[in-house]
Amino acid sequence: MSQQFEAKRDTLRSKMSVRNYYAHMGISPALWELADKVLKNLRERFEAIDEIAQVNQLKVLHAMQKNRISAEHFNGSTGYGYNDAGRDDLEKVYADVFHTEDALVRSQITCGTHALSLALAANLRPGDEMVSVSGKPYDTLEEVIGIRPSRGSLAEYGITYRQVELKEDGSFDFDAIRSSLGPKTRIAAIQRSKGYLTRPSLSVDEIGEVIHMIKTIRPDIIVMVDNCYGEFVDTVEPSDYGADMTVGSLIKNPGGGLAPMGGYIAGTRECVENCAVRLTSPGLGREVGASLQINRSFYQGLFLAPTVTAGALKGAIFAAALFERFGYHCIPDARSPRNDIIQAIEFKTPQGLRAFCEGIQAAAPVDSYVTPEPWAMPGYDSDVIMAAGAFIQGSSIELSADGPLHEPYAAYFQGGLTWEHARFGILKAAQRLADKGIIQIGRE
Ligand SMILES: *Cc1c(COP(=O)(O)O)cnc(C)c1O
């Protein structure tokens, strides 16, 4: 080998090292060094996440093989959508993944809120009562239920609502739950992820224990779990503990980043059938609903979902570990077990929150050149800043961050279609804080 070539090769290889490429993308060597140190400490955590992803990958694979998924399943339907094997067998695959009798997985379910609203409205009747046993539900459900008066809410149909707060430490209040179950109680709702609250997210085992208690004393009560952001974070899902309906959005974990829309409800035959007739129409139910060309992305997204979720989890843990070094309060902290893919970081100042979101935006594959600005959002009492450079509008399995501009100026960070992207985005955000003089790297 000529000396000249050797020199050329070494220059090229050095230029393309991770460290230098990070520098090329605007990350200072000091930050890179620090991040590298933080990452080395996370190795065991990451291995455990890979093991969970492995189980979930096999779970999905098994469900697809069992249902003999073939190329024909990717042919869509139009019009009424009768005899759409791709659509119908996808629902069998979901039922097998969640170990339920049945599932409804549809592009006509427009988002997570819609899926939850559908599950509730389809299974409640006038005079029934719904109890949230995990405290205040996700913001958008307040209007669904009618906690905030709203056109078309369950309250307008004579369905009443009760709420049992979580205990101070974020755990279920078993005694209060037991005494909240009355003769009218028809649905008990549980939310796995904290959403935009700073309570801890609930583990599947904790949820399982509540389901067990409710079913022991009142087997007639339908238990619904809002599973948003929780799918594939663990090897076990709430449905494995007997939840009658496990509900979520396809532009979060189970869509694997490929589903461009949609929602799912996995559960008992009875509950899912009620959802089907409510989604379309009595008498028609699940027989209709053209899938157009969407089946392939639903299947392929589900197939990728375990690894995509694992990458997002690694990103969340890495973000907590790094930002704790800079003295920020992270929820959950870097050492806690994970029950969803959301990471909250309290910046304490609007400048910090803004810089973080700007960094996440600047790291995006799409719209990286725009600067996110706080703006007023319906349902929020202060401006909200959002960073999202996503392939799918609003997709929060893709790397994204948002936060309301009020105390404690917390950024809610989630997603990342690949761990490599999440890793870079987190460093880009930290670099932005450093560039603005909000943090000092090397002095943490
Ligand atoms: C995202 C989410 C929802 C539903 O949100 P959509 O934006 O309507 O998809 C409901 N509950 C929780 C906990 C969520 O994270």
pLDDT at 197: 81
Mean pLDDT confidence for 394-410: 95
Determine the Cα–Cα distance for residues 408 and 387; give it in Å rounded to an integer.
18
Residues 189 and 325 in one domain: no
Distance 264 CA to ligand 1 centre (A): 12
Atom of ligand 1 nearest to the CA of 249: 9
By C-alpha distance, which of 82, 31, 36 is closest to 430?
31
Distance 112 CA to ligand 1 centre (A): 5
Q: Is residue 137 part of a domain?
A: yes
Residues 308 and 264 in one domain: no
444 has a pLDDT exceeding 70 = no
pLDDT at 379: 61
153-197 pLDDT tens trace: 999 999 999 999 999 999 999 999 999 999 999 999 999 999 878
Atom of ligand 1 nearest to the CA of 112: 9
Give the domain-ending residue among 264, 292, 320.
292
Number of compact structural domains in the chain: 2
Distance 438 CA to ligand 1 centre (A): 32
Tell me the pairing of strands 102-106 and 263-267. Answer: antiparallel
Atom of ligand 1 nearest to the CA of 111: 9
Distance 225 CA to ligand 1 centre (A): 12
For the beta carbon of residue 96, count every other beta carbon within 10 angstroms: 19
pLDDT at 233: 98
Residues 352 and 283 in one domain: no
Distance 358 CA to ligand 1 centre (A): 23
Distance 436 CA to ligand 1 centre (A): 33
Residues 259 and 346 in one domain: no
DSSP per-residue string spanning 133-200: TTSSPPTTHHHHHTSS--TT-GGGGT-EEEE-PPPTTS---HHHHHHH--TTEEEEEEE-S-TTSSSP
pLDDT at 378: 73
Residues 244 and 134 in one domain: yes
pTM score: 0.96
Atom of ligand 1 nearest to the CA of 194: 13
Q: What is the CATH number of the domain that holds 359?
A: 3.90.1150.60
Mean pLDDT confidence for 308-336: 97
Distance 113 CA to ligand 1 centre (A): 6
Report the nearest-CA residue for atom 5 of ligand 1.
112
Which of 226, 228, 247, 414 for a ligand 1 pocket mutation test, highest count of atoms within 8 Å of Cβ?
228
Confirm if 98 and 238 have CB atoms less than 8 A apart. no
Q: Is 5 helix (H, G, I), strand (E, B) or coil?
A: helix
Determine the Cα–Cα distance for residues 19 and 418; give it in Å rounded to an integer.
18
Distance 21 CA to ligand 1 centre (A): 36
Q: Which domain holds residue 218?
A: 77-292
Q: What is the CATH number of the domain that holds 180?
A: 3.40.640.10
Give the domain-ending residue among 292, 312, 345.
292
82-104 pLDDT tens trace: 999 999 999 999 999 999 999 99
What token pair was written down for 18? 């991770």
- Residue appearing with tokens 């599932």: 103
The pLDDT mean for the chain works out to: 96
Which of 249, 400, 402 for a ligand 1 pocket mutation test, highest count of atoms within 8 Å of Cβ?
249
Residues 319 and 270 in one domain: no
Residues 287 and 388 in one domain: no
Report phi then psi at 25, rounded to 5: -95, 15
pLDDT at 333: 95
Residues 33 and 174 in one domain: no
Residues 288 and 307 in one domain: no
Residue 293 pLDDT class (50, 70, 90 cuts): very high
What token pair was written down for 104? 């409804």
Residues 111 and 215 in one domain: yes
Give the domain-ending residue among 292, 311, 330.
292
Residues 164 and 113 in one domain: yes
311 has a pLDDT exceeding 90 = yes
Report phi then psi at 154, rounded to 5: -60, -35
Residue 438 pLDDT class (50, 70, 90 cuts): very high
328-379 pLDDT tens trace: 999 999 999 999 999 999 999 999 999 999 999 999 999 999 999 999 987 6
Mean pLDDT confidence for 194-202: 86
In the structure, which protein residues have their CB atom closer than 6 angstroms to any atom of ligand 1? Answer: 111-113, 138, 140, 191, 193, 195, 226, 228-229, 249
Residues 219 and 189 in one domain: yes
Q: Is the peptide bond before 332 cis (omega within 30 degrees of 0)?
A: yes
Q: Is residue 441 part of a domain?
A: no
